[in-house]
Amino acid sequence: MADLLIKSKLPRVGTTIFTVMSSLAAEVGAVNLGQGFPDFPMSEELEDLVTQAMKDGYNQYTHMNGFPALREVLAEKIQDLYGRVVNPDTQITVTPGGTYAIYTALTSMLQPGDEVIVFEPAYDSYIPNIEINGAVAVRIDLKFPDYHIDWEEVKKRITPKTRMILLNTPHNPTGSILGPKDIQQLRELTAGTDILIHSDEVYEHLIFDGAEHCSILRYPDLLERSFVSFSFGKVYHCTGWKLGYSVAAPALMQEFRKVHQFNCFSSHTPSQVALARFLKNKDSYLSLGGFLQKKRDYFASFMAGSRFTPLPSYGSYFQLYKYDRISDEAEKDFAIRITKEYGVASIPVSAFYQSGKDDRVVRFCFAKKEETLQKAAERLAKI
């Protein structure tokens, strides 16, 4: 049989660094602080609720837009947290994961040739999502070492083709967050334009040290031009559920649902029923930041005995550590070596840059059991 002619839509995309490092960790028996998933159990109450939902017969398709009671409780949560009234029927859609929500938002809006401003280091799905839609990623580096946005540079990079600005707060991989000054710059930059915003807020509840989460949902002038994506899996320690949701103005959500209906159509029903009941208890999400902050601080207390230098983490599952006092190796080489020689897997931050920018920094996930974090830190202290 003759070889088929295949023209890839993503010719530069190969196996992700997360797969590479997790596979290597499994191969050598390393502690895996690379990929962002917990190694501790999710809430027993939530487990029981999803089991009960299945026993109660919630095993068929639910509404395309999401289980109605779940959308209603999400609207209540948004009003309580951010003072914003959103319509659960026209502004919230439940999706199979936050990454899916991001892809669907971009696919519903982008036309070939559109430009999207992306800040690097960036979550690995952003640029492929842009490029598969024929759009162009305009990459702007966050300013090292605190990874803040240079808004003057953003202004210079805006062109008549700029269709969207893609934000992420709390930020993966750096743990940085947007503050009120960032929001004011964003408002001034987009006012009176057709520029859209996508705000990836999957770690909305994992924010530390008393900081405020500056969700786009707080600002009506921004929400009218925005999609905001969230993840149940990340914040409730059940990443394997692959369940999230998107919030947007009605006109934007209408376009989102046109794509959604022909792709996934409907997300896992029993999980949605369980979450609708679970979220009635506000502490189920209000306590999450403190829970993860303790893990960040616990890991840091043991890492203080190492030659790694911590960079601030204000939110997410992650903290970056510089290793310039240890080695001048490239990040990927260093990450692979310490996995093999010291038994701890990390992610090189250079993997989050298209250019491969290398500041001698690696990312560790601290959403792990205390014994896992202690074991990893004790090994890293030997380097």
Q: How would you classify the pairing of strands 244-248 and 226-231?
A: antiparallel
| Rounded mean pLDDT, 304-318 | 97
Q: What is d(CA 105, CA 259) in angstroms, rounded to the nearest whole number?
A: 9
Residue 1 has pLDDT above 70, yes or no: no
Residue 244 has pLDDT above 80, yes or no: yes
| pLDDT band at residue 232 using 50, 70 and 90 as cut-offs | very high
Residue 221 has pLDDT above 90, yes or no: yes
- 164: β partners: 116, 196
pTM confidence score: 0.96
Residue labelled with tokens 């925005």? 226
| pLDDT band at residue 261 using 50, 70 and 90 as cut-offs | very high
* Residue 325 pLDDT: 96
Q: Using one digit for the tens of pLDDT, what is the confidence trace for 108-121?
A: 999 999 999 999 99
Length of the chain: 383
17-42+286-380: in CATH 3.40.50.300: no
The CATH architecture one would assign to domain 44-282 is: 3-Layer(aba) Sandwich (3.40)
Equal fold, 17-42+286-380 vs 44-282: no
Three-state DSSP state, 85: coil
Cβ atoms within 10 A of the Cβ of 346, count? 29
Residue 71 has pLDDT above 70, yes or no: yes
**DSSP code for 351:** G
* Residue 4 pLDDT: 85
* Residue 14 pLDDT: 81
* Residue 2 pLDDT: 63
* Residue 335 pLDDT: 97
* Separation in Å, CA 167 to CA 182, 191, 238, 272, 361: 11, 17, 24, 27, 22
Residue 33 has pLDDT above 80, yes or no: yes
| Residue-range domain boundaries for the chain | 17-42+286-380, 44-282
Q: What is d(CA 203, CA 211) in angstroms, rounded to the nearest whole number?
A: 13
User: What are φ and ψ of residue 120, in 5° steps?
Assistant: -110, 145
* Residue 199 pLDDT: 98
Average of per-residue pLDDT values in the chain: 96
Residue 3 has pLDDT above 90, yes or no: no
Q: Using one digit for the tens of pLDDT, what is the confidence trace for 183-195?
A: 999 999 999 999 9
* Residue 26 pLDDT: 93
Q: Which helix (H) or strand (E) holds 156?
A: helix 151-157
Percentage of the chain lying above the pLDDT 90 cut: 93
* Residue 338 pLDDT: 97
* Residue 156 pLDDT: 98
| pLDDT band at residue 43 using 50, 70 and 90 as cut-offs | very high
* Residue 217 pLDDT: 98
Q: Using one digit for the tens of pLDDT, what is the confidence trace for 153-164?
A: 999 999 999 999
| Rounded mean pLDDT, 50-55 | 98
| Rounded mean pLDDT, 236-263 | 97
| Rounded mean pLDDT, 139-164 | 98
Residue 100 has pLDDT above 80, yes or no: yes
